[in-house]
Amino acid sequence: MAYSSTGFATIGASKAGNAPSLYAYSTTDAIGDINTSGYFNAIASILNVGDVILVRSSTGGTQALTLVYVASNASGVVDVTDGLTITATDTD
What's the CA gap between 89 and 81, in Å, rounded?
25
pLDDT for 74 equals 97
pLDDT for 36 equals 96
Q: What is the pTM of this model?
A: 0.91
Is the pLDDT at 21 greater than 80? The verdict is: yes
Is the pLDDT at 85 greater than 80? The verdict is: yes
What's the CA gap between 72 and 85, in Å, rounded?
20
Asked whether the beta carbons of 4 and 27 are under 8 A apart, the reply is yes
pLDDT, one tens digit per residue, over 37-55 is 999 999 999 999 999 999 9
pLDDT for 92 equals 83
Mean pLDDT value of segment 5-12: 95
